[in-house]
Structure 1
Amino acid sequence: MDHAIRDIRDVVVIGAGPTGLALAVALRRYGVDAVVVDKRADSRQEPRASVVWQRALEALRDLGCADGFMAEGLPLARGEFHVAGRCVGAQEMPMEDTAFPVPLGIEQDAIETILRGRMRLWGPDVEWGTEAVGVRVGEGGAEVDLRTPEGRTRTVGCRWVVGAEGSHSLVRKSIGAAFEGERRVNLQCVQLNAVPEWSHPYRPEVTRIFINHGVSLICDPVPGGAIRLFAFLADPDPGRQEPPGRAEMEEVVARATGEEGVRLRPTEPHWANRARFHDRIAARFRSGPALLLGDSAHLWAPIGGRGLNTGLLGAHNLGWKLAAVHHGWCPEALLDTYDAEQRRTALRVMRHMRRNILELPPDRRTLAAIRLILPHVLRSERFTRRGGELLSDFGRNHRGSELSAEGRFKGRSKGGGLRPGDRVPDWDVVSETGPGRLHELLSYQRWSALVTGDGTADLRRITGRYALPVAAFRIRTDALPDGTLLLVRPDGHVGLRARATDRRALTAYLDRWSVQLRGK
């Protein structure tokens, strides 16, 4: 690298969408100098609709943003399914063992405003109108060429560069990572925010899904009595690019609901869009100091806000790992677990999206099957519980990660049903400070060693030998047997599960994933 560099930063994040902003918040909370650049002229964003699910809300709480989201969004407690003009049942959204039992409906411009406000607590705002036009990656860092709003180019040196700029990611191209996958054929999504005149009264807590032959319509409430209308249908004219007009959307809504005479009054600011989709995933999410995040790493149809939520959870996963490696607390191998974990998660989401027949336009045979089966499925407690786990993202885990380990239990019951890599539920617990909720003991700024039963002094002595910040707590809970040790990651997933007396397992885990302090 022999370019003249006058600006040196810890991290350059390219792209000021929700995932890039969330990562910047996470890094700045750890004291990492993260600059965010975006080629857009300013922060004005179309009010794209989205849903933030329960697990992502927990991640946003860790970033200090949850209160802003709760104040701005609408809690969505129920999803109603209408098939061929008839309501066939509902999926109740509330989940247990969390401070956020239901998802939120919220506009993307509000999401970005909240995240930017949080980011500015620790540093400057986004550098708007600043386009990354070149990225060069070396062993010890990267160089990023930035074109300023005045048309000049400056080069910034950085220890890390993160591509969060979307499907045409410059960072991804610079590291030579293939964007594997294909375009979805014969599928389009037409979208409009509007106040409908129809037979379904506005209920701010209810999402309605209408399924009919050749069309699937998702209707999410927004503040003020309006509805976000997302319709998935066939794409006979792929060259058609203009957003749908009111008349086209009225015809689509009538087809989906089976109701004649539907009228739509578009909202101000106006939001309408026509989109096509690709199912793609980068061959790798990391190459040395360069990392990929959000749509730069994985892309699919925007059904149910899965892209946004997967991206936010990816930022939550990457933030603490990048900070720990940057500060010298952990070896660089920790960043490889981000690549493996997030890529595995994205592949699972992608497979689920392709099989999600309830939100894709059905043919007549599929529609008949849905009419027959869906009412029984929605009455099944087992199925609705599993559906809630998938929708909330509480059912997703990192069990296959190298970062997930288990000590030897020698035939005794492991208990609790909680496995390494799982998200830790927000159980009722009793700790040294009294009764409370488990998540109140956890922190995104450190690891947490939880012991059921007696003894944490020895834990503190062991963990104190390492650079990794760890706090130890003795707890009681009906969810875990006495004598259990859980080492919980900053993002709330179990890293190590062992017997409370198994100091060898704890030491081996820390030897692998943390740097030992000198003289300790």
Structure 2
Amino acid sequence: MPHESTTPPTLSDDQRVLVIGAGPVGQTAALLLAGWGVPVLLLDSRPERDPIGSKALCQQRDVLDVWDHVGAGRQVADEGLTWTRARTFYRDTELFCQGFVDKGRSPFPPFVNISQTRTEELLDQQIARSALITYAWGHRVTGLRQDADHVTLTCETPSGTVDLTGSYAVAAPGSKGGPIRDLMGLTFDGLTFDDQFLICDIRASLPGWEQERRFYFDPAWNPGRQVLIHPCPDSTYRIDWQVPPDFSLKQDEASGGLDRRIRQIIGADSDYEIVWKSLYRFHARQVDRMRVGRVLVAGDAAHLVSPFGARGLNSGVLDAENAAWKLAFVLHGWADESLLDSYHSERHAAAAENLEVTSRTMAFLVPQTPEEHARRLDILENAVLNPEARGQVDSGRLSEPFWYVDSELTTPAADRPWPGRPPKGEDPEPVPGVLVPDVPIAGPGGVHRLRELARRGLVVLVGSDLDLGACEDAVDGMRCGVTVVTLDEVDPEGVVAASLHLHGRQAVVIRPDAHIAAIVTTPAEVGAAVRRVLRR
């Protein structure tokens, strides 16, 4: 019979992981670690959770899939709103309207808009159900030291100073994580944009706007700058205005300017309620290292990008997933400790890609030089009359997962070179390093999707013409955390084989984060690919 991994044993409290920061990235890391049987102490400097409005509001499909694994993804998707049109304007002219058509293979929409406040509530509900996660509110980290086996955090609390010790730590304190970075000796090089952005969540009735995102370049009511409008659940709309560097929200409210801004969009006679408002600047920054000994840094504390494209929280959740399975495999003794080095190499590269994409967008949205200003004006003016120029208008490319095609954990396939990212909306070629397609399977234990099976451990799918016993023998000694199963057993309809372009004499090795680690043709290559992932 094929070997299947079992529920991970629960580790002892002295192997617990300390997670710094109870935002969505820290919550996700805690839930995923607990799912691997790892006790977690989740710390936050705040005395309790505070509502923060929409903030990071657009959650991408692959993140919903991660949250589904910890019990929250389906509800986030059901409560969230998926807009179907993206309309882009230059002054009073609509340049184009992009429709989003879902191919329907995944049980989740391409993305949903939902306030970060609600996302955190839903993740907290899952945390409350876990006996392995303990919250420690009001713990401000002021010291960090490490030895060969532990990391110790010194925290200021309302009751005094305490030291907390764990086997490892995940630092996800968010965008204000400077003190933690300093304790870790990290640099945070990059750029901060002078212009500010005003966010306002309003509740209003705007017929026809419920499922469309609107982006305005240089409208008459915000000349020289832009405005972005996102629909959210419960008749709520998030509006982002680009405003001057010296803008004061307090003065704008006192003078009636905020009300005028809102009414220029929704009309003079429409009723509205302000749900939340904030003022912020965009940054494009990245730490030099994402692993410092026994501490892994994740989310906004590790990388800051502009929100155009929704690459902040989405990337942070994938940081958390990458960190969690690797820490769990090391703590259970299934992988060598050097596996943690790949956390830095993989997620640092992912952050660099997001910075590159968002920096191109920001050069268009907030040009910094006379040449960038001239180029933007030329493109926008040309796009009014020339449809072919409209493809150069950059209002942000929606978040996409990073694919580990160059990772040291990936076994390259000579017959499947990486062709580069496909056009928007198209699936990538199934080559080593990319996410497996989210296709249905007849899996063991009532598992119904390939990604659901993958997230239960390291998976080896063996083709019908390969010797199953020999493949099992090839991973002997690495059985814990590894599932070996025939492709025919989980794929009676041939959907997986067709999606991955597999034939009977191939086996595919899939990582616990559902990325393809290898596509090989012999049992010996199966063993080598598994050892490569586990660094054994």
Normalization by structure 1: what TM-score? 0.84
Alignment of 1:156 onto 2:164:
yes
Letter of the structure 2 residue corresponding to residue 223 of structure 1: P
Cα displacement (A) at 1:275: 0.7
Instruction: Please say if 1:120 is aligned against 2:128.
Output: yes
Which stretch shifts more, 95-104 or 275-284? 95-104
Q: In structure 1, how many angstroms separate the alpha carbons of the residues matched to 2:182 and 2:533?
A: 30
* Residues 452/140 of structure 1: CA separation in 2 closer, same or farther (3 Å cut): same
Which residue is 2:95 aligned to? 88
The answer to whether residue 382 in structure 2 is matched with residue 372 in structure 1 is yes
The 5-angstrom pairing of residues 391-410 of structure 1 reads 391-394=398-401, 396-406=402-412
Deviation at 1:110, TM superposition (A): 0.7
1:77–1:92 contact (8 Å) kept in structure 2: yes
SS of the residue 1:79 aligns to: strand
Kindly indicate whether residue 59 of structure 2 is the aligned counterpart of residue 52 of structure 1: yes
Moved segments of 4+, more than 4 Å: 240-244, 250-255, 259-264, 361-365, 377-380, 407-411, 428-437
Equivalences for residues 439-478 of structure 1 within 5 A: 439-440=451-452, 442-455=453-466, 456-471=468-483, 472-474=485-487, 475=491, 476=494, 477-478=497-498
Checking the alignment, whether the CA contact within 8 Å between 1:303 and 1:359 is kept in structure 2 is no
Percent identical across equivalent pairs? 25
How far residue 403 of structure 1 moved from its aligned partner, in angstroms, is 0.9
- In structure 2, how many angstroms separate the alpha carbons of the residues matched to 1:99 and 1:64? 14
Q: Specify which of 464, 486, 509 is matched with residue 487 of structure 1.
A: 509
Q: Secondary structure at the match of 1:32?
A: coil
Contact 2:364 2:376 in 1 (8 A): no
Q: CA offsets, 1:79-122, max 9 Å, x none?
A: 22122122222223344343223211111111111111112222
Aligned mates of 1:323, 1:286 — CA distance in 2: 16
CA separation of 1:331/1:84 partners in 2, compared to 1, >3 Å: closer, same or farther? same
- 2:119 maps to which residue? 111
Query: For 1:4-19, what aligned pairs fall within 5 Å after superposition?
Result: 8=14, 10-19=16-25
CA contact (8 A) 2:305 2:355 kept: yes
2:269 equivalent to 1:293: no
2: CA distance, partners of 1:285 / 1:159:
17
**1:191-202 to 2 correspondence within 5 Å?**
191-195=199-203, 201-202=207-208
Residue in structure 1 matching 2:238, options 228, 231, 242:
228
C-alpha distance 9-322 of structure 1, shift in aligned 2 (>3 A): closer
1:420 aligns with 2:440: no
Provide the rounded CA distance (Å) in 1 between the counterparts of 2:443 and 2:201: 48
Do the aligned partners of 2:507 and 2:519 also contact (CA within 8 Å) in 1? yes
Report the counterpart of residue 424 of structure 2 in structure 1.
none
Mapped to 2, the partners of 1:470 and 1:84 lie a distance apart of 57
Letter in 2 for 1:71: D
Distance 1:113 1:324, change over 3 A: same
Does the 8 Å CA contact 1:398/1:404 hold for their aligned counterparts?
A: yes
Tell me the equivalent position of 1:3: none
Asked whether the 8 Å contact 1:83–1:210 carries over to 2, the reply is yes
Are 2:70 and 1:70 equivalent residues in the alignment?
no
Distance 1:306 1:17, change over 3 A: same
Instruction: Find the residue that maps to 2:234 and give its secondary structure.
Output: coil
Deviation at 1:365, TM superposition (A): 5.5
Q: What is the match of residue 339 of structure 1?
A: 344
1:265 aligns to what? Answer: 272
Cross-structure match for 2:10: none
* Structure 1 equivalent of residue 520 of structure 2: 498
Structure 2 gap ranges (5+)? 1-12, 368-372, 418-427
Distance in 2 of aligned mates of 1:275 and 1:438 = 40
Aligned residue pairs total 488
- Cα distance in 2 between the residues matched to 1:122 and 1:316: 18
CA 481–163 in structure 1, closer or farther in 2 if over 3 Å, else same: closer
Other structure's SS at 2:398 match: helix
Query: Which amino acid counterpart does residue 320 of structure 1 have in structure 2?
Result: W
DSSP-derived class of the 2:358 partner: helix
In 1, are the aligned partners of 2:21 and 2:172 still within 8 Å (CA)? yes
Shift of residue 160, structure 1, vs aligned partner: 0.6
1:302 aligns with 2:285: no
Partner amino acid, structure 1, of 2:100: M
Inter-partner Cα distance in structure 1 for 2:399 and 2:280: 25
The answer to whether the Cα contact below 8 Å between 2:338 and 2:535 also exists between their aligned partners in 1 is: no
Aligned Cα RMSD in Å?
Answer: 3.4
Deviation by residue 1:184-211 (Cα, 9 ceiling, x = unmatched): 2x321101111458xx635432222122
What is the letter of the counterpart of residue 473 of structure 1?
A: T
Distance 1:313 1:377, change over 3 A: farther
The runs of 5 or more residues in structure 1 that have no matched partner are 1-6
CA gap of 1:373–1:503, structure 2 versus 1, over 3 A, is: farther
Aligned to 1:136: 145
